[in-house]
Chains A and B, each alone.
Chain A
Amino acid sequence: MDSIASYSLGFFNNDPSENTKVIARSLKNRILSGICIALSLLTMVPLISIIFLLLKKGLPLLGLNIFTELPPAAGMAGGGFGNAIIGTLAMVGIGLAISGPAGILSAIYINEYSPASRLAQAVRMVAKLLTGIPSIICGVFAFAVVVMATGTFSAYAGGLALAVLMLPTIILTSEQALMGVQSAYREAAYGLGATRFQAIARVVLPDAFPAIMTGVMLAVARAAGETAPLIFTALFSQFWAKSLNEPTASLSVLIYNFSTVPFPHQIAMAWTASLVLVAFVTLANITAQTIFSRRH
């Protein structure tokens, strides 16, 4: 029997050797699926164990005072980290206020205005390189630009470090989001006499908005958890911040500080701070997704 004929016979083939081959193939298929399922379950183990550990060690100290009180001095009990929560929110806010508009507008330029231009290619390449840069280098940059110039550690410096960190993610995910907009929409807008600005503002951006916001939230989530760029830009503070131009506490640096001291209460508080940080980031992600995925 020639090979083409036996290949097409399938169900109608009574040749027993062909049958064994089919059984072997379906067995192989099942084994492979099994391996895939097992491995995907395995990837969930670290995440679930982290959450479990955070809840177990962080919950005991979780209370209202955590949000309203200042960190305890070394060896002392009680207190909270309200100033670190505010500091993290402020610095992520500053970072977002800089990198959000800059990143989204760059993405609009490189995808909508002149995708093939030298400038666009350069921006794209720099953004890709920037994603690979260690976060501590962003801190070095902000240290040189803000801390050395103003002579003080500050929330501004920390915010700038986070902005540099967030920028490439926002540029690249926004570009992807804009690329995902059907070109038929642009064509329809131009066909109706829209200017480029109108086509972007009224058709392209609204359609790409959910995807852009997802990218922005990714960047925020990453920035909120960064310690390295904040250590020598915002430093830390035991007190409530009076201005953005002074050393500022943050959750990540608090976790870093408290987890390296020998006092059990501080270590327990570091766990609680970790829990609060993860909860913030998760909450922000979920809200962003539910708000921005509601669309036509």
Chain B
Amino acid sequence: MQTTKEAPVKMPLDDSNPLGRPDFISVKDFNFFYGKKQALYDINMDIPERQVTAFIGPSGCGKSTLLRNFNRMNELIDGIHNSGDIRILGKSIYDKGVEVISLRRSIGMVFQKSNPFPKSIYENVVFALRISGNSKKSELDECVERSLRGAALWNEVKDRLHESALGLSGGQMQRLCIARAIANRPKVLLMDEPCSALDPIATVKVEELIRELKQQFTIVIVTHNMQQATRCSDNTAFFYLGKLVEYADTQKIFSNPSEKQTEDYITGRFG
């Protein structure tokens, strides 16, 4: 366990994005353990509103673990514990009054392997509304069109909304999962390697979509693909062995990293 406290990494927000709060998601002295194994060490970082922040690093470096703490998905695993704090819009997600269910409802999540339910396209999109007890047809219809348009899928599926989602192509399925994740108008969109199972053309579509979506959502994306990070993120955080090594403007990380480890990783010398 690391004892020395590092100074919080400076937020690379500049004037080019005056939209949102620079500390929209704020991670403070965050440590995380799977049983006795420590997976994250003293993470301090601020993630700005309505920008895309990419987490990169080799497998097992803790980037997905941190992502899955933002909506407390890790709590589905037995024997985990953590210390420190994560705040979203200044409010701690670990406050006693916070219902994990409502936290997850206000944060969308897209997984590595597209996982539409074995239901119709329509029912997939409105799932979040249905579980919050909304069954007004006009609102559901509106939500389906808005979400599918938001995920750039509407034109491809508008004539077969009531057909099974499992008949879509891999890229369409993943965009459907994005539509499902944004149906509830969440503030944050978490994406855990959303393109790793997609072919290059489907990947380009999802990346375009990510750039589109950041106008409305704060996006955190875990990726193994460094070109992807350069193509669609504003800020990049490099993790290694459970520590946040470097966090800066994406351009700076990839052109002029200040840490040797970051440079070695992005130039492919390890990882």
Contact = CB atoms under 8 A, between A and B. Distances in A.
Q: What interface size band does chain B fall in?
A: 20 to 34
B117 A203 contact: yes
Contacts of B119: 206, 296
Interface in B54-84: 71, 73, 76, 78
B115 A202 contact: no
B131 A185 contact: no
Q: On chain A, which size bracket covers the interface?
A: 20 to 34
A187 B181 CA distance: 12
A292 to B, nearest CB: 14
Interface string B38-62: 0000000000000000000000000
B172 to A, nearest CB: 15
A263 interface: no
Q: Which of B101, B103, B105, B116 has the most CB of A within 10 A?
A: B101
B130 A184 contact: no
Interface in B142-201: 164-166, 177, 180-181, 184
A193 B128 contact: yes
Question: Chain A at the B interface: mostly helix, strand, loop or mixed?
Answer: helix
A187 B115 contact: yes
Interface string A197-218: 0100011001100000000000
Given A184-B113, A296-B164, A296-B166, A192 B131 contact: yes
A227 B203 CA distance: 62
Nearest to B124: A188
Contacts of B116: 188
A191 B118 contact: no
A192 B104 contact: yes
B111 A188 contact: yes
Interface in A165-207: 182, 184-185, 187-195, 198, 202-203, 206-207
Contacts of A185: 115, 117-118
A295 B111 contact: no
B120 interface: yes
A202 B130 contact: yes
B74 to A, nearest CB: 11
B127 A192 contact: yes
Contact of A193 (B76, B78, B102, B113): B102
Contact of B101 (A187, A188, A195, A203): A195
Contacts of B113: 184
Nearest to A197: B131
Interface string B120-136: 10000001101110000
A75 B70 CA distance: 81
Contact of B73 (A182, A184, A191, A206): A191
Contact of A184 (B78, B111, B132): B111
B109 interface: yes
A189 B111 contact: no
B104 A193 contact: yes
Given A182-B115, A203-B117, A191 B71 contact: yes
B115 A192 contact: no
A192 B180 contact: yes
Most buried by A among B103, B127, B165: B127
Contact of B115 (A116, A184, A194, A295): A184
B127 A202 contact: yes
B127 to A, nearest CB: 6
A206 B123 CA distance: 13
B117 A191 contact: no
B131 A187 contact: no
A243 to B, nearest CB: 43
A278 B164 CA distance: 37
Contacts of A182: 115
A207 B123 CA distance: 14
Nearest to A193: B105
Given A193-B131, A194-B131, A296-B119, A188 B105 contact: no
B181 A192 contact: yes
B29 to A, nearest CB: 26
A185 B119 CA distance: 11
B57 to A, nearest CB: 22
Across the A-B interface, give the 4 residue pairs with the lowest CB-CB distance, nearest first: A193-B105, A184-B115, A193-B104, A191-B109
27 contacts: A182-B115, A185-B115, A188-B111, A188-B116, A188-B117, A188-B177, A189-B117, A189-B127, A189-B131, A190-B76, A190-B104, A192-B104, A192-B105, A192-B108, A192-B127, A193-B104, A193-B128, A193-B184, A194-B101, A194-B131, A195-B101, A198-B131, A202-B127, A295-B118, A296-B118, A296-B164, A296-B165
Given A193-B103, A194-B101, A296-B164, 14 more contacts: A185-B115, A187-B76, A189-B117, A189-B131, A191-B73, A191-B111, A192-B128, A192-B131, A193-B106, A193-B132, A202-B127, A206-B118, A295-B118, A296-B165
Interface of B: 71, 73, 76, 78, 101-106, 108-109, 111, 113, 115-120, 127-128, 130-132, 164-166, 177, 180-181, 184
Interface of A: 116, 182, 184-185, 187-195, 198, 202-203, 206-207, 295-296
